[in-house]
Structure 1
Amino acid sequence: MVSELEFEELSRRAEIDGTAPRVGVIIDRGGQVLLLARHDTGPIKATLKLPGTTVLPREPLAEAVVRGVHEETGLAVTGIRHHVGDFDYLSPDARPVRRLHFAVDVAATEPIRLSVHARYVWAPLDGDLPVTSSIRRILENYRNLVHP
């Protein structure tokens, strides 16, 4: 399980580096991970994403993880097992963001109730996933962590 000290250190590093923290979450169901799809309104097919959210001001990372999973999927987090990795990027308004990724346990993997996404898929970890290269690296880190 991720310790309170590790959460504090991750938050402190993001603050020192001047990045706004976001969380991304890996929910594993027997070797398949939950990926979400945005509503597709343009000619370019959007990639799938992991559930996640923006960390609110003064919100502890663990609370953001629990809140983000519940808001986006309706699932209840019962434990945060691993910090899997992170990456930095620029938001659409050119602000630096750090997306911190955690593997979690949930009470049940169904039913999923989407709030802002068009659909979801349970995708095999060993498949060729339609995700960004950054998310692919996070999923590889996770795969190496739990299936060495």
Structure 2
Amino acid sequence: MIDDCVLDGLTTQAANDGVGQLVVGAIVRAGGKILLLKRPADDFMGGIYELPSGKVEGEERLDAALIREVAEETGLTVTGIVAYLGSFDYTSGSGKKSRQFNFAAQVATSAPVRLTEHDSYLWAPLHEKPPVTDAVKEIVHAYRGLYQV
């Protein structure tokens, strides 16, 4: 798991930067593929693929939020958070300055994926360019570098 000091530092820095909403995202890998979820067409940024991700609630820690969000959105159980991969900022649908912290996560098993908030999912080959935003492409690139893919 990620050291508590790292997580606390990320949260503190976001507060110092005036970030109003914290979000966590996970790269979940099975074999040579990563899990991407497709947002509903009528949702904020509808139709795009993204990492399993979601808002940090109240005083929730980043690691707890990541475990919860992966479970809620995919039905998968996180067994380990093995690396911090970086963050990116964006403006949410409600106009809040948001920061998404991204981590490499291990899961107990990669199937079945049970969607609750997304239209569909795909296991994207890690060696190909994923159909995601430029910000998420940078996170995938950092993941590839970490694992020499």
TM range (shorter): over 0.9
Distance 1:146 1:38, change over 3 A: same
Is 1:25 aligned with 2:34? no
Is 1:16 aligned with 2:16? yes
Structure 1 residue 129 displacement after superposition: 1.5
1:16-67 Cα offsets, whole Å, 9 max, x none, are 111121001100111210000122359x982210001100110011100000
TM-score by length of 2: 0.93
- Write the mapping of 1:32-47 to structure 2, written as runs, cut at 5 A: 32-40=33-41, 46-47=47-48
Amino acid at match of 2:120: R
- Cα distance in 1 for residues equivalent to 2:117 and 2:24: 16
1:81-104 Cα offsets, whole Å, 9 max, x none, are 000010011112221100000001
Q: What's the secondary structure of 2:63's corresponding residue?
A: helix
- Cα distance in 1 for residues equivalent to 2:59 and 2:95: 22
Distance 1:120 1:11, change over 3 A: same
Residues 40, 46 of structure 2: 8 Å contact kept = no
Q: What's the secondary structure of 2:81's corresponding residue?
A: strand
Amino acid at match of 1:40: A
Structure 1 residue 72 displacement after superposition: 0.1
Structure 1 residue 2 displacement after superposition: 1.3
- Cα distance in 1 for residues equivalent to 2:91 and 2:49: 19
Distance 1:18 1:102, change over 3 A: same
Structure 1 residue 4 displacement after superposition: 1.0
Is 1:63 aligned with 2:58? no
Q: What's the secondary structure of 2:50's corresponding residue?
A: coil
Tell me which residue corresponds to 1:114: 115
Residues 39, 46 of structure 2: 8 Å contact kept = no
Tell me which residue corresponds to 2:2: 2
RMSD over equivalenced CA pairs, Å: 1.7
Segments ≥4 residues shifted beyond 6 Å: none
Q: What's the secondary structure of 1:35's corresponding residue?
A: strand
Tell me which residue corresponds to 1:86: 87
Tell me which residue corresponds to 1:77: 78
Amino acid at match of 1:22: V
Aligned length: 147
